[in-house]
Structure 1
Amino acid sequence: MNQRRNFLKLAGAAGTAGVAAAATSFPAPAVKAQSPIRWRLQTYAGSSLGEHVIKPSIDAFNKAANGEMEIELFYADQLVPHGELFRAMQRGTIDAVQSDDDSIAAPVDVSVFAGYFPFGCRYSLDVPVLFDQWGLREIWQEAYSEVEGVTWLSSGSWDPCHFVSKDPITSLDDLRGKRVFTFPTAGRFLSRFGVVPVNVPFEDAEMAVQTGELDGIAWCGITEDYTVGWADVNSYFLTNNISGAWIGSYFVNSERWEELPEHLQQLYRLCIDNSHYYRQYWYWGGEANLRVNGEKLELTTIPDDQWATVEAEARNFWDEIAEESPRCAKVVEILKEYNETMEKAGRPYRYT
């Protein structure tokens, strides 16, 4: 019996050693690495402008995502025409968009306030304050919660809206008959002063000025005029503007957004905020520097007494927009109260 027990112990030990040896001889099967999540994002901007307004933040995201996710960036009209961006995102043809609500025909009533809503803000810093401290964020979230398939993430400020033109503009009369590339709501307002809004693809605007299809552009400030080449085909820059900042947004296909793990959602939001911050100083510094040191465009100005007519008409325009929906009325009321507060605050918030 003792011999039998010893035999079993030895056999058990040998078996254990054999299993261990087998484990070292035959490594565990390789686990295939998970493919990274891939998104396609199209911006409103052409390639030269996109180098500033979005590419740095997307490059940062792709690096920080550490192989878990990669966003492929496309510029204006590369995948779908700009006016079809919203529907394409809704269908899932593309995953994300950077643009204003207005020019991509977002089916929400507040889209009229994006892009350049006339005299809604005076400075670029007004935009984040309005969204984060005066309630516009909650209003935008409410509006887009009513739209299937698209999630609005954030809005930020870009540059002011000025005219750049082939011929000088020194009075309101000079605006009459000018064929101008601009945004839908801005064009709707400027048409009251004889401006003829013309819609062309972003990358075709420069050639349209050269061929005479356009007399000028009211799409940006002087920083973009120099960056995208519009300062090369125009001669004059009007210092008056109808808005202190363009309001643009980041959108995503809702299904693709919900598929992301929370840490990648947060990373994407951080990169959006980084883009908002970069544009604040890139535009602010660029506008001043190029007015003073730029050599391609001559500055012109419409006298204050004439421009006051434009500002007064903007308030009539606001009241008309307020009648379009209760939510629009709420936004207009916020804009009125905000601007009155800034006026009362005085310098440096407003110069009266």
Structure 2
Amino acid sequence: MTAELTTERLLGLDALLSDEQREWQRRARQFATERIAPVIEDDFEAKHFRRELIAEAGAAGFLGMHLEGYGTAGADAVSYGLVCMELEAIDSGWRTFVSVQGSLAMSAIAKFGSEEQKQQWLPGMAKGELVGCFALTEPTGGSDPAAMQTFARRDGDDWVISGTKRWIGLATLADVAIVWAQTEDGVRGFAVPTNTPGFTATAIEGKLAMRASVQCDIVLDDVRLPESARLPGAAGLSGPFSCLNEARFGIVFGVVGAARTCLEVAIERSKSREVFGKPIGAMQLTQQKLADMFVEYEKAMLLALHLGNLKDAEAITPEQISVGKLNNVREAQKIARTARGILAGDGITSEFPVMRHMANLEAVATYEGTDEVHSLVLGRALTGFAAFR
């Protein structure tokens, strides 16, 4: 029995899923293993994102799949989470792509856009014919969006936006950027066509994680937009925060996929690597490590599923999403590090995916809320005191 079948049998996840949810998981696993896995090590090494696969992801229904109408799939939250898990089991960069496109850019338009904006952007984005990005984070403080310095001022009937954004996924590929800016009336969102004069996106170089995806700096130099570009339903930081919660939910499931891959690789390697005359998997210390890894993987998966069911029941809270993001990323990091140790020196080579997952998980731990931020979210919920400042 392969490690994959062993972990799936022990977990028994199938019994907790509907036929539709299992079908989404199967479809995502097939796409990830057939289209991404054969090229991901080369792409990570070459810092290459395969844009040609975007339309295939759209045809599979993965883009904005949790939304209703406008060519989206209207799938439930658990199904979306399972797709995130299967994509991230191969590489975090591809789950990030689906997250940025669907949970951030498309969700912002679906939640807060005008009917004209929805018709203009969402069908093409669902098909993968158009790409979106979500420009919130700034160079001086991703964890404090209330301090954003990007500003949109009125000039007659137009808006003029100036400022900078950093770590914006897909920006050099995007057709539309959802830009959040301060105004005289508070934070507002804008759907900015990326060919608008004054908009410049530059890919960030030197990354040691997320190398098979694209993150960028953005400069907005007096970008002039009509009033029709403003998202009319977005007022204040509740707008971007609601989109961030959608993305964080995908992470809760996604990192379980990375953990599962690391665990399965460690199991297989423990059977074939021999030390002191027998496979290391026959030694007690190794079995203890594998057992601990599996237990944490199982708990993370069950937590993700619980949160997915809460989300489908429209009963989930931001604090509960923080629990999932904080715990599951943390445990995935531990599982990846333990797997790397079981693989010994070979674990740092591209012969195995573990070191790549370790690097990517370091990035995932930082974005969509650091450990510290999510800890303070939970601390506030537990004590009633806000300790962010």
The higher-RCO structure (CA 8 Å, 6+ apart) is 1
| TM-score with structure 2 setting the length | 0.27
Q: Higher Cα Rg: structure 1 or 2?
A: 1
Specify which structure has the higher proportion of helix.
2
